[in-house]
């Protein structure tokens, strides 16, 4: 997305906010401040934030925090949440133990 590439060159100055300590990603216990900081560090897509912080990569796979993270990142970048591309859907969409993943049945 071109728009994001433009955002990337616009540096965002870090400043703290009173609710930075608020948990956003419940599974991985990532705070609002950490997400805001990641944007200042140059992470401008949900995918990048996810790789950088592990938001949405816990047991629930972003089911709960997806929209919240998007809202925070969008606000930080000064864009509309709907303009941000959501994180890519990847298999497995639900947590599966490695031992089960390794047991493929032939039918």
Partner 1 sequence: MKRYDMIIVGAGPAGLSAAVEAAKHGMCVAVFDENAKPGGQLFKQIHKFFGSKEHQAKVRGFRIGEALLKQANELGVEVLLNAVVTGIYADKEVIVRHNDTVRHVKGDTILVATGASENMIAFPGWTLPGVMGAGAAQTMINLHGVLPGKRVLMVGSGNVGLVVSYQLMQCGCELVGIVDVAKKIGGYGVHAAKIARCGVPFYMGHTIVRAEGTDHVTGVVIGEVDEAYQCISGTEKQLDVDTVCIAVGLSPMSQLLDMAGCQMQTVSAKGGTVPVCNADGETSVEGLYVAGDVSGIEEASSAMIEGRIAAISAARKLGYLGEAPASEEISKLQASLEALRQGMFAPGNRGKIIEQTEEGIRISNSLLTKGYLEEQEIERFPGFHTQKGIHPVIECTQNIPCNPCQDVCPRHCIMVGDNITALPVVDENSACSGCGLCVASCSGQAIFLVNDSYDQTHASVTIPYEFLPLPAVGTIGVALDRSGNPVCEAEVLSVKANPAFDKTNLLTMKVPKEMSQKARFFAVKSSEQKG
Partner 2 sequence: MLRIENHPILGEIQKGRLVRFTFDGKELTGYEGEPIAAALKAAGVMVHRYTTKRHEPRGVFCAIGRCTDCVMCVNGKINVRTCVTPLEEGMDVRTQYGVSRQKPE
Residue 45 to residue 47: CA distance in whole angstroms? 5
Whether the CB-CB separation of 65 and 25 falls below 8 Å is answered with yes
| Nearer of residues 2 and 90 to partner 2, judged by Cβ | 90
- For 39, phi and psi rounded to 5 degrees? -65, -45
Q: What is the dihedral of CA 93, 96, 102, 104, to 10 degrees?
A: -70
Residue 107 to residue 102: CA distance in whole angstroms? 16
Q: Does 24 bind partner 1 (CB under 8 A)?
A: yes
Binds 59: which of partner 2, partner 1, none (CB < 5-8 Å by kind) = partner 2
| Nearer of residues 5 and 19 to partner 1, judged by Cβ | 19
Binder among 5, 10, 94, 98 for partner 1 (CB under 8 A) = 94
Residues that bind partner 1 (CB under 8 A): 19, 22-24, 26, 32, 61, 63-68, 82, 86, 88-94, 96, 99-101, 103-105, 107
């Amino acid at each position: 997305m071109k728009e994001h590439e433009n955002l990337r060159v616009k540096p965002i100055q870090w400043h703290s906010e009173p609710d930075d300590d608020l948990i956003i990603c419940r599974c991985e216990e990532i705070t609002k401040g950490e997400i805001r900081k990641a944007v200042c560090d140059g992470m401008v897509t949900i995918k990048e934030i996810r790789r950088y912080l592990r938001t949405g990569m816990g047991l629930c796979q972003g089911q709960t925090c997806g929209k919240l993270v998007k809202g925070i990142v969008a606000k930080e970048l000064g864009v509309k949440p709907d303009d941000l591309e959501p994180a890519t859907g990847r298999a497995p969409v639900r947590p599966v133990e490695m031992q089960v993943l390794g047991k493929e049945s032939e039918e």
